[in-house]
Amino acid sequence: MPTAIWNNKIIAEASENEVIVLEGNVYFPPQNVDQNYLKHSDKQTVCHWKGTANYFDIVADEQTNANAGWTYLQPKDAAKKITGYIAFWRGVQIVA
């Protein structure tokens, strides 16, 4: 079961058939992400084929991992399947 862990906290957890793996990143369905750890960030980036990514800071035990999660709220057609799903990086461990 893929699990996203940061600062010894489980940020997200889902079964293999609920996540989407794209370009080596594991995208978790939003309902499988503990929103209590996420804080919207002002950061955005643009991917030429996926569209605009919106970022989250992860906050756990008074520590912040800036821009460590991202989502595509309105991706381009080629990436529609990841709409609203959330992926992580910057020290967030993804374990199976």
Domains of the chain: 3-95 (2.170.150.40)
pTM greater than 0.85: yes
35 HSE (CA, 13 A, CB side) = 7
pLDDT digits (tens, 9 = 90+) for 64-85: 999 999 999 999 999 999 999 9
pLDDT digits (tens, 9 = 90+) for 5-61: 999 999 999 999 999 999 999 999 999 999 999 999 999 999 999 999 999 999 999
Q: Residue 82 is which amino acid? A: I
CA separation for the pair 33, 23 (Å, rounded): 20
